[in-house]
A and B are shown apart, each in its own frame.
Chain A
Amino acid sequence: MTKRIRSKIARGSGELAILSILSEQQLYGFEISRQIGERTGGALKFTLASLYPLLYDMEKRGWVEGRWQANHAGRDRRYYRLTPNGRKQLAPLKKEWRTFFHALDTLAGVSHA
């Protein structure tokens, strides 16, 4: 039960992190993982094994779309960008997480921890 909840939380936070970062610019997998790591001070870390199944699943759901194009070094990379459907998911997801953290805060004062 706890494992399932933890897995759902991890998955949900991963989706939000990816949607948020792609809402600013299109990026390829390695850059997505690096930027999320850098911008969260390493608190959120995507390995290859955790990133791509999630990205492909989000692509299947029509939230992001990938397209091969050359990066700044001239190498082909699969760039992901948000679809209009993905952009629509962002606000409700943020709201869900805000509610979630508010609830935890009320319960355990986590924001002051």
Chain B
Amino acid sequence: MPDWKTIVRERMSSPNSPLNLKEDVIAELAAHLEEICEEARLCNLDEPAAINLALQEVDDWRVLAASIRRAKSEEDSVNDRTKSLWLPAMANLIVAPGLLMIIQKLAVQPRVLWIGDMALVLYLPWLVTLPLFGGLGAFLAKRAHARFVHRLIVGLSPALAVLGAFALVLPVSLVIDRQAFRHFPFAYFVLTICNWVVLPAFALLLGTLPFLGELAALDTQRGTT
């Protein structure tokens, strides 16, 4: 009986594609060929014919090696979403609020707009820079071939994160201390949402828009492949 592992190892490697298949893959394929060969021998084939029959299982070893590498690679399935959605969104989520914190640390005074007895607190330098961050996030997502929805989510991620926080914190606070909300009129919550979600989202969207282009062509192409 030939050494099937050596045969598989040799055939799966080529000068242009250095062997990087794990030994357990080679062992598994070798075991498969070994069983075909043994079964052929039981059917009274002589050894060279049985070996030949086993080797006929593979037309092109380099194609097989490439298919296995592709199938084994985590890159294409898991990392695609990470690269096109999570990483750009994380970058945007760190940089945009980070800048707001720096602005607050530098004691830059916000512009306060009074609406009745409620205040709209605007950090204008921050709002002005938000289109840049929205654009940066959407650009990174687009570079990673993100689809339209993902580019939009990445661009708006700082505003969406705040919206998520409100959606989580407000109901929980309501359950914990219902009385605390008695002092705040409904308009106060609307204003807060406008202040920290709607206005930033609008500013982020301005920067995101240029990177939402080619959406129809790209998404149609995805749908048909």
Q: List A residues at the B interface (Cβ < 8 Å).
A: 28-30, 33, 47-49, 51-54, 56-57, 60-61, 68, 75-78
Task: Please give, as numbers and ranges, the residues of chain B lying within 8 Å of A33 by CB-CB distance.
Answer: 32
Interface string of B63-92 (1 = CB under 8 A from A): 110011011111001000000000000000
Known contacts A29-B32, A48-B33, A78-B28: A60-B57 contact under CB 8 Å: no
Find the A residue at minimum CB distance from B77: A60
Shortest C-beta distance, A8 to chain B (Å), equals 10
Chain B residues contacting A60 (CB-CB under 8 Å) are 71-74, 77
How many chain B residues touch the partner (CB < 8 A)? 24
When the two chains form their complex, are residues A48 and B24 in contact, meaning their CB atoms are under 8 A apart?
Answer: no
Once bound together, how far apart are the Cα atoms of A72 and B32, in whole Å?
15
Contact partner of A48 (CB less than 8 A), chosen from B57, B73, B77, is: B57
Main secondary structure of the interface of B (DSSP, over half): helix
Q: Chain B contacts of A78 at CB under 8 A?
A: 24, 28, 31
Set B31, B33, B36, B63: member contacting A75, Cβ < 8 A: B31
Given contacts A68-B24, A78-B28, contact A53 B71 (CB under 8 A): yes
Quick one: CB contact mask for B105-131 with A, threshold 8 Å, 1 for yes? 000000000000000000000000000
Task: Check B72–A47 contact: CB distance below 8 A.
Answer: no
Question: How close is B76's CB to chain A, nearest CB, in angstroms?
Answer: 9
The CA of A57 and the CA of B77, in the complex, are separated in Å by 10
Q: Is the CB of A48 within 8 A of B59?
A: no
Contact A47 B77 (CB under 8 A): no
Q: Is B47 part of the contact surface with A, judged by Cβ < 8 Å?
A: no
Given A48-B29, A48-B64, A61-B77, 20 new contacts (CB under 8 A): A30-B31, A30-B32, A30-B36, A33-B32, A47-B57, A48-B32, A49-B60, A49-B64, A49-B67, A51-B32, A52-B25, A52-B29, A52-B68, A53-B68, A53-B70, A53-B71, A56-B71, A57-B71, A76-B31, A78-B28
